């Protein structure tokens, strides 16, 4: 038996971000815009942490497989 897809449509990678940047900011109040900035800053920090995690893992793998020949 095949695995059934969820009832809701799957969202592609980055699709929500793409939709968010197209929103009409004129519709938001100052407080909402400040909350949006805070959320975006938190997301930037989260993405930067993930990048650093991946770089560290990559550096460790490179060091392991190069046998310290750098």
Q: Is the pTM of this model over 0.75?
A: no
Q: How far is CA 42 from the centre of its chain?
A: 11
Whole-angstrom CA distances from 26 to 7, 31, 32, 33, 55 are: 33, 13, 11, 10, 39
pLDDT attached to residue 68: 56
Show the low-confidence residues of the chain (pLDDT under 50).
1
pLDDT of residue 64: 83
What is residue 16's predicted lDDT score, i.e. its pLDDT?
92
């Amino acid at each position: 038996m095949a695995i059934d897809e969820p009832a809701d449509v799957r969202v592609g990678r980055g699709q929500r971000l793409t939709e968010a940047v197209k929103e009409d900011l004129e519709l938001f109040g100052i407080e909402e815009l400040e909350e949006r900035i805070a959320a975006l800053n938190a997301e930037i920090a989260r993405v930067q942490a993930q990048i650093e995690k991946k770089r560290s893992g990559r550096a460790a793998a490179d060091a392991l497989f190069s046998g310290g020949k750098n």
